[in-house]
Amino acid sequence: MGPNDADIEKRIALLEDKVEELEKAIWGLIQNSQKNLEMMASVHETFQNLNSYLMVNVGPPLFLE
């Protein structure tokens, strides 16, 4: 085992630590994206419900897209 081996092992250990940090960060991003998707689905459902309510109780929209 030469003097460079210890340096290489140290660098590998540091890289493994960084990989672990990145993995945690990526999982955090995935969870955040899932929560955002759930919120967007909820907002969409709310607008659909509001649109249905307005169509029944107020009438069709004056301006069609």
DSSP 3-state of 55: helix
What integer pLDDT is reported at residue 51 of this predicted model? 87
Residue-wise pLDDT for 5-47, tens only, equals: 889 999 999 999 999 999 999 999 999 999 999 999 999 999 9
In the block, which residue shows the tokens 């969870």? 31
At residue 42, the pLDDT reads 97
The three-state DSSP-derived secondary structure of 9-61 is HHHHHHHHHHHHHHHHHHHHHHHHHHHHHHHHHHHHHHHHHHHHHHHHHCCCC
